[in-house]
Amino acid sequence: MSLYTLKTQTLEGEEVGLDRFSGKVALLVNVASRCGNTPQYSELESLYKKYEAKGFVVLGFPSNDFGKQEPGTAAEIREFCSTKYHVTFPMFEKVQTKPGATQSPIYAALKEATGQLPGWNFGKYLIGRDGKVVRFFDPGLEPSSPQLVSAIEKALDKPAPATN
């Protein structure tokens, strides 16, 4: 299944289809403002800027699942990300990543595709141009790590799927 068939809401509450990212390579990340991994926002933004013109996007999904480290409202999250880390990549509504009745359909699909859910904030899923998960990366892995950068570059080298 392609993640690009799902819908969600932006941080500002607008419904949006992930199909707007079809044909792009995405790094989907569960983010939090009060986590030891929060400085990864800087590296995520750098990756986004570096590869955006080649068809790469970072998709941020705030979550309060781990250590209650994202307690803020949507407006507070936007303010924090904009002023402290100058985030320009797309940010979406706060979601539940953990299994349960209110788990985000996106994270349910990620679990189905990979057998993995994040164990902490800043779990990273690399999504291919076709909307399928390429690989899951552990929350502690820095976005600038050679392992992650190499996987992004390899995914970007693959052509976009043909559309009918």
Q: What is the pLDDT of residues 7-34, one digit of tens each?
A: 999 999 999 999 999 999 999 999 999 9
The single-letter code of the amino acid at 133 is V
Mean local confidence (pLDDT), 103-113: 97
- Beta strands 56-62 and 25-31, pairing class: parallel
Is 35 an active-site residue?
yes
Which of 35, 91, 133, 151 is catalytic? The answer is 35
Determine how many CB atoms are found less than 10 A away from the CB of residue 100. 9
CA dist 86 and 89 (Å) reads 9
Picking from 22-31, 127-136, 154-163, which range would have the lowest pLDDT averaged per residue? 154-163
- Say what the pTM is: 0.95
- pLDDT at residue 157 tops 80: yes
Domains in the chain, CATH or no CATH each: 3-157 (3.40.30.10)
pLDDT interval class at 159 (50, 70, 90): confident
Determine how many CB atoms are found less than 10 A away from the CB of residue 76. 13
